[in-house]
Structure 1
Amino acid sequence: MTTQPTAAPRRTGPDLADRIHGGWLGRIAGNMLGKPVEQGEVWTRDRIDRYLERAGALPLTGYLPEPADPADRAVLRPEWRACVRGRIHGSCRDDDVDYAILGLDLLETHGFGFSTEQVGDLWLLRLPYLQTFTAERAAYRNLVGGLRPPLTATHHNPHQEWIGALIRADVYGWTCPGDPVRAAGLARRDAVLSHTGNGVYGAMWAAALIAAAFTAPTVREALESGLGVIPAGSRLARTVRRVAALHESGLPWEETLTVMSGETAGLGWIHTVPNAAVLTAGLLYGDDDFTRTLALTVRGGLDTDSTGAAAGSVAGVRTGAAGIPAQWTEPLEDTVRSAVSGFDGVRISALAERTLRLVTAGP
């Protein structure tokens, strides 16, 4: 796999609007799909598939069914009742969506020249402390204690390479269509508030991947553009390239994930690197099919709501809102629940329109 970013012109007009809307819908749908089984230590890949088999839901073609086994019901996330088929009425609140909303608010408030300090200020203003987790909670606590970036990322923070910065990156990709280098730069400025190393690279990679998804001929080429913005020798880059090589060799999806599980063992289920492996496999083996991409990614386990959301964002951009099957979009009822002050109950379509205005307004 090459690692050079591809240059491509921005898309304009209705096609761009539809793709941005698709990105928002895909992120929210993927998040909802993965949310009930978000606990990688409990919900392994094998257990997720056993759940689906007992419910008669393999192959997976929509949101998770209600659990058929009381033992499964007991260990699902508490929000599962609002995230399974037949019970969804708008999206549940989740940090994977809250941070996309915060990113939009950041760009609307401060423009593309925002500073890392302004990211932190916005967290304190808009985001409740108890709705932050891992590295974000450590950074929030450090901000309240008077520390400034980059110390906010390193002081008493054992989660510096976990997936939190990656889940904050989407809006930078959506607002830089066809410009992965610019998207990665914006994501880095946000990420260093709370992360270092592969944690920052994960955000840059995700933003660049989403930006490239607007114009790349294939999802494989979008992934290559994402690799072009991070150090080639980083563990994240090596992991993404390894998954791509296994896919290219013809190894089945299940065997690819088994190999990668062994090679990333010990990093933990919320670490950026093993989750990037699951995400990369979902995108490549999903082969630009929206439903298959989401299903494979969430069935891959680990931080399922975060990987599902990221996969949905990429797949939604590539498919466009009009191309996303109705079983994913209709239950969302064009509505988002959010802990971000001033945004609870906002329309998904309104978020997409506001994102488009940022693109068309220019830098």
Structure 2
Amino acid sequence: MGLTHAELADRILGGWTGRIAGNMLGKPVEQGDHWTPGHIDAYLRLTDALPLTDYLPPPPPDAAGFELRPEWPQCVRGRIHGSCRDDDVDYAILGLHLLETRGFSFTTEQVGELWLLRLPYLQTFTAERVAYRNLANGLGPPLTATYDNPYQEWIGALIRADVYGWTSPGDPRRAASLARRDAVLSHTGNGVYGAMWAAALIAAAFVAPDVRTALETALERIPASSRLARTVRGTIALYESGTPWSDTLAELAARTAGLGWIHVLPNAAVLTAGLLYGEGDFTRTIALTVRGGLDTDSNGATAGSVAGVLCGAAAIPPQWGEPLADLVRSAVFGFDGARIGELAERTVRLATLTP
């Protein structure tokens, strides 16, 4: 792989820190049918926050029409002390616990068992909630993903994939395989491919010279004919043609129209655009990704994870990491109040195990 132990530890801590920071940046505006890119930028202009280089500002008293999510007091600049609880971080923690307790040979059935043991039902959403209900009713995979589940290709499995990339540095094939075993509990088709692609992307980021290379490497792990692969390649083509970021977003929105703001395809497009147009700069990457709208906290989290692995924790600007105070809030039983540094150290131990 070519990384020293210290470099690997810094990259993994960068992934954790980046994921949490990106999630916190996007959380106040997570409502894609209301917080469109134009509406997000209007809020940023109202609060004098363009260019976006820090967490979102709190809303001014006269911000009618710009109501943030109820959790906003815990995740806007000047008010953050530790992470706000969110499923985008819960699943990274749960995945870490899965690998620590079940090992890298875990089964999809064991993923489900761990959900029932550690994850509150009301902290699951869309496909995950359906799968949880199916588990509780006695169904097993693959029926947990297919029975009465209209969310099979939504973004949920993708947001669970990071830990498989962090623990497979430089090995996108293994990362994708692990992510697939987790994803099929709740998703099918492009929903599963999204998880495989994200895990492979993060694994590739440990050794890739740039994000463009990591994206290409990750595409090798999903079917080339899939809609997800075509969407990502289409985004890359727009970037390489010199199309401005805002025009790229508009074109991607037209290509994925009608799928909804939580479907994996439009979100993968926004995420890919943020990574490419961010051009390796951590702040620019998560800012553009969140300004792209849709599932802003999930996309911000994955963009932050990739960018954090690429640059390492030491290179993440302090305005992102310092307010987190090394503290994670989580709904996963036994992990509320965990330390980010400790979670990263535990991830490093897994990443250095001999396969």
Q: Which interval holds the TM-score relative to the shorter structure?
A: over 0.9
Give the distance between the partners of 2:248 and 2:324, measured in 1 at CA.
32
TM-score using structure 2 length: 0.99
Report Cα offsets for 1:250-309 as digits up to 9, x if no partner: 000000010000000000000000000000000000000000000000000000000000
Aligned to 1:227: 219
Provide closer, same or farther for how the CA distance between residues 92 and 72 of structure 1 changes in structure 2, counting only shifts above 3 A.
Answer: farther
Q: Deviating runs (4+, > 4 A) in structure 1?
A: none
Aligned pairs for 1:227-306 (under 5 A) are 227-306=219-298
Equivalence map 1:92-241=2 (5 Å): 92-241=84-233
Q: CA deviation at 1:157?
A: 0.5
User: Are 1:46 and 2:43 matched, yes or no?
Assistant: no
Q: What are the Cα deviations for residues 190-227 of structure 1, in whole angstroms up to 9, with x where unaligned?
A: 00000000000000000000000000011000000110
1:72 CA drift (Å): 4.2
Is residue 202–residue 272 contact of structure 1 (8 Å, CA) maintained in 2?
Answer: yes
Q: How many Å apart are 1:10 and its aligned residue? A: 5.4
- CA distance in 1 between partners of 2:211 and 2:79 (Å): 32
Report the TM-score when normalising by structure 1. Answer: 0.97
Cα distance in 2 for partners of 1:71, 1:229 equals 45
The answer to whether 1:334 aligns with 2:326 is: yes
- The AA in structure 1 aligned to 2:41 is D
Which structure 2 residue ranges, 5 or more long, are not aligned? none
SS in 1 for 2:338: coil
Counterpart residue identity of residue 63, structure 2:
P
**Which blocks of at least 5 consecutive residues in structure 1 are unaligned?**
1-8
What secondary structure is seen at the aligned counterpart in 2 of 1:361? Answer: coil
- In 1: Cα distance, 2:214 partner to 2:353 partner: 25
Amino acid at match of 1:11: L
Deviation (angstroms), 1:361: 2.1
| C-alpha contact 1:51 1:72 (8 A) present in aligned 2 | no
Map of 2:354 onto structure 1: 362
- 1:122-166 deviations in whole A, cap 9, x for unaligned? 000000000000000000000000000000000010000000000
- 1:323 maps to amino acid: A
Q: Percent same amino acid at aligned positions?
A: 76
Give distance in 2, aligned partners of 1:17 and 1:88.
Answer: 25
Measure the CA separation in 2 of the matches of 1:263 and 1:357: 42
